[in-house]
Amino acid sequence: MKKTAKILLSAIFICALHVQGQSSAESQIISTGFGENLATGCPRLQVIDDMLYAPGPNGIMRHAKGARSQWEPFAMQGINVIDFRILGDEIIASVIPDEYSQITGMDLRPVTRLLKGQVSGTEFRDITPPEMEYTYDGYIFTYLSAMAQHPVDKNCVMIMGHGGIFRSEDFGETWEKLTHYEATYNGHSFLGWHPQNPDILFLTSESFIYVGMVCRSIDGGKTWEIFYPDPDNESSCHCIAFDPDNADHLFISGEYAIYESFDCGETWRTALNDKVSVPILGYAYKIMYDPADSDNKTIYSAGHANGDPARNIIKSIDNGKTWKQCLTYDFYEEKNFIYDTTIFDGKIWIYDYKDIVYWNISGNSGIDAPVNNNTQTSVYYDLNGIRLNSLPPSGIVIEKQGNKSNVIVL
């Protein structure tokens, strides 16, 4: 029985390697050892200076540049954090209260609270706006779903939840309601300022009949308009990518589609229609320009197909005119929801249920070096074909030495 299982596992793994091209550096998905985050709520990655920050069930961790660096604690240890913003040594964070933190496999945004304190501290106070709260069956809900910080004035932050969008100009001490528009159904909504024109604010969402919509204010939040990129289809709008060379040129990642605007969000065209028999992307949760491309022509989008477990990354090198799939992985795990994706240190980092993994865009150094089939050095993978940077304390892994593969039960 053990021999049969070993042969079967090896066959699955070798097939995964063949399909995903894991023997080349450019196709390797690398585990960072962050670990699982099953208490969902769409935690968001942040790049601040030379650090990548990741909130999670045990607080906020950070990762320095360099393939061999490890995660280190940053703030709010022992608290289940979904998102945060910092101002000097002050921090504002949306968190899951302790009484709910052990619940897994369900969306916990309805019970999220907003806390404020010191990055280096251990005591935090609740600053959730009362107007964001509502009570049902004796429970208090907020549906705090998105957070943003002004690109210039870091004292100014926005949050979105039940009741609409709220803004604070004193880093969470007082709040002003801007609009009743909300996107509590959509955990991947974009909320924020236009990076080239902070008078323009955006919220992506979908209507009550599941039609994707873009809420926009061009006067700093005083008045708002709604635009529908694809009014005839059920396609929620997720992330916005802003063209660094043209403030009017935007992309939105949607469900089986990427939309493009040349007038700062008033009208839209479909840049990618992925509603085909063999989609290359699926539900597009994130879209982003590559900061390493000085010509600002390279764009990446990450997502996965509904009902199809494979995770996908697609790429455009002509500013959205054409797209191609550059990576697909994780064929065998059906329940592996993508929380967030970002570009940092020449890599695309993907935060999902199971881990934070990365794909080295250039495939240059460190653990991302190509696997030489003639070497006898051991390289380890999990059963989804994801390369591990160290052996886990338990579980089943595949050891690859040259052309030979062995199953190891730890």
Which residues does 131 contact at the CB level (< 8 Å), separation at least 6? 163, 166, 175, 177
CA-to-CA distance for 318 and 324, rounded, in angstroms?
Answer: 11
User: Which residues of the chain fall below pLDDT 50?
Assistant: 1-26, 363-375
CA-to-CA distance for 7 and 165, rounded, in angstroms?
Answer: 55
> Rounded to the nearest 5°, which phi and psi values hold at 24?
-105, 145
pTM: 0.84
Q: pLDDT tens digit string along 271-287?
A: 999 888 888 888 899 99
pLDDT of residue 309: 57
Alpha-carbon separation of residue 198 from 52, 125, 149, 153, 194 (angstroms): 24, 29, 11, 10, 5
DSSP reduced 3-state for 406: strand
pLDDT of residue 386: 66
Alpha-carbon dihedral 319, 149, 356, 97, rounded to 10 degrees: -150
Determine the length of the chain. 410
Which residues does 194 contact at the CB level (< 8 Å), separation at least 6? 200, 201, 202, 242, 247, 264
CB 311 within 8 Å of CB 300: no
Q: pLDDT tens digit string along 47-73?
A: 999 999 999 999 999 999 986 778 999
Pairing of strands 250-254, 257-261: antiparallel
Cα of 243 vs its chain's centroid, Å? 20
Query: At 380, which amino acid appears?
Result: Y
CB 95 within 8 Å of CB 113: yes
Alpha-carbon separation of residue 235 from 23, 284, 399 (angstroms): 36, 10, 42
> Rounded to the nearest 5°, which phi and psi values hold at 19?
-70, -40
pLDDT of residue 53: 98
CA-to-CA distance for 284 and 273, rounded, in angstroms?
Answer: 11
Beta bridge partners of 31: 357
Alpha-carbon separation of residue 225 from 164, 250, 399 (angstroms): 14, 17, 56
CA-to-CA distance for 291 and 78, rounded, in angstroms?
Answer: 33
